[in-house]
Amino acid sequence: MSDLNEFDWQRYPEAGQWVSEQLEHYARSNPGIANLETELLEKVGARLIDFTDYLVVDSIDMTQQPEGFGYVQKDGVWIHPGAALPRIVPGPHAGRKKGAAFKVDSIARFLAVRGMSLPINGSLFTRFRECEISTVNDVTLWVVERRFSDTVEPVPENAGYLDLYFETLERWLTRPRHFEDERTAVAHIRELADRQVKTAGTDLAAYLFFEAEQDYWMSRHRAARVHKHHADLAGVGWANRDHHTYRSSRENYSNVLRFFLTLGFKPRERFYAGEEAGWGAQVMENTGIDVSLFLDVDLGPDELDIDFLEVDLTGTRAMGTIELWSYLHGASLGEAGLHHVAIRSHFERLPEVFKRENVEMMEPFSNFSYLKQAFTRPDFWPVNRERVLKLLKDGTIDEKTAEKFFKKGAVGSHVENIQRADGYKGFSQKRISTIIAETDPVRYEG
């Protein structure tokens, strides 16, 4: 289990600046890259760096070697384990031309919205595919699909792969969501995960789990649909996602973590918002599919040293923000689905895109040069009447709150607008307790 201080994420301003300069140079040289940058800003509210998968450099000045910025080599490609920065590919690697590759959900859709017809290298829906869009002034623009792995070489698969892919996805999409209680829901999905991993392998099972999760979340959340619509206009999809947030009760928290462990996630830092906030989170990451998780739970100051994967949370506590949300909506791995997804963006331009569709932002809860975060105003979800009556009977809520829940529902979900700089990979613990308190189901009025 990770220690609270084990993951002390650093900023890498020199590396971030070097990457930005490479992108700027490539955009000046190849108009296709410059046009993509403009399109992402205007249609998606995102930056070029938010979709950059890798850069190919033909030569590197000896004073600016990637390892000087914290990069390490893996199979001939430079990756940065401590930062949210793109891969660096030396030009001689597999005869690569100088240029930049940008990640999209579907190369075919990227081409379709531009009326282009170009060859796509790699088998359908494999871990990595690529398409060369243009080469101008010796600078190449690629778009790539990266489902999992760090490879920069297109991957062929055997004839049975597509059946495996879509059968695995279908099982995730059609899994039962509605159970009598959260414990039964979590037990069921853990059994399903064991079968999916055994059949499809860990990375593919994990990747497709989030494909299904995002579809379910969008069905319940308007701001998510708005973002996806605009991203699809640019043909890029969810390729700029930053992290997913799930919530659960204290009773089932350890089993939720164990479920994600089955899908190849490893614990990262633990997060504690402070004694007054009354909640915390375990951050987990699967580097194979490039997904990070923020797993919320009500937590006390005496529980910071607990290994959540080994010890269940016990003891009676007053129902806090996370527990109440989970009870009202059925918890994230069951009926509720995701609490929110964070998308990497241009912090000022994304709200402009949302505003055109009457989606409003809340006040930022992080506003640093290297990390900016804000939620959209939440949707209200209808709640089960029997659950509300039980909360009223045991004194958790009063009659005024119960009546509000009956008439309006309770706070459901958000989209998180997040802008990172300097390769900073962590989260701020300074003001997040404020936004959680503001969106507490009892307090929030809309």
- Percent of the chain residues past pLDDT 70, beyond the cut: 90
Q: What is the mean pLDDT of residues 59-81?
A: 75
For 194-212, what is each residue's pLDDT tens digit? 999 999 999 999 999 999 9
pLDDT at residue 286 above 70? Answer: yes
Q: pLDDT value at position 2?
A: 45
By DSSP bridging, strand 128-136 and strand 99-103 are unpaired
Supply the pLDDT for residue 1.
44
7 is written with which tokens?
């993951």
Find, among 306, 196, 179, 328, the residue nearest to 253 by Cα.
306
Q: For the chain, what percent of residues have pLDDT higher than 90?
A: 71
Query: Nearest CA to 385 among 409, 366, 369?
Result: 409
pLDDT higher than threshold 80 for residue 99: yes
27's tokens: 């955009």
Q: Is the pLDDT of residue 169 over 90?
A: yes
pLDDT score of 296 more than 90: yes
- Band of pLDDT at residue 307, cut at 50, 70 and 90: confident
228: closest CA among 65, 357, 93? 357
Q: In whole angstroms, give the CA distance from residue 383 to residue 407.
A: 10
As a three-state string, the secondary structure of the chain is CCCCCCCCCCCCHHHHHHHHHHHHHHHHHCHHHHHHHHHHHHHHCCCHHHHEEEEEECCCCHHHCHHHHCCEEECCEEECCCCCCCEEEECCHHHCCCEEEEECCCHHHHHHCCCCCCCCECCCCCCEEEEEEEEECCEEEEEEEECCCCCCCCCCCCCCHHHHHHHHHHHHHCCCCCCCCHHHHHHHHHHHHHHHHHHHCHHHHHHHHHHHHHHHHHHHCHHHHHHHHHHHHCCCCCCCEEEEEEECCCCCHHHHHHHHHHCCCEEEEEEECCCCCCEEEEEEEECCCCEEEEEEEECCHHHCCCCCCCCCCCCCCCCCHHHHHHHHHCHHHHHCCCCEEEEECCCCHHHHHHHCCCCCECCCCEECCCEEEEEECCCEECCCHHHHHHHHHCCCCCHHHHHHHHHHCEECCEEEEEEECCCCCCCCCCCHHHHHHHCCCCCCCC
Over residues 421-425, the mean pLDDT reads 95
Instruction: Pick the more confident residue, 382 or 435.
Output: 382
CB atoms within 10 A of CB 87: 21
Which pTM value belongs to this model? 0.92
Average pLDDT, the chain: 90
Phi, psi at 170, each rounded to 5°: -65, -40
Q: What domains sit in the chain, N to C, each tagged with a CATH number?
A: 13-146 (3.10.180.50), 165-438 (3.10.180.10)
pLDDT beyond 70 at 315: no
pLDDT, mean of residues 187-200: 97
Pairing of the two strands 87-90 and 52-57: parallel
Reported as a pLDDT band with limits 50, 70 and 90, residue 187 is very high
CA 235 to chain CA mean position, Å: 19
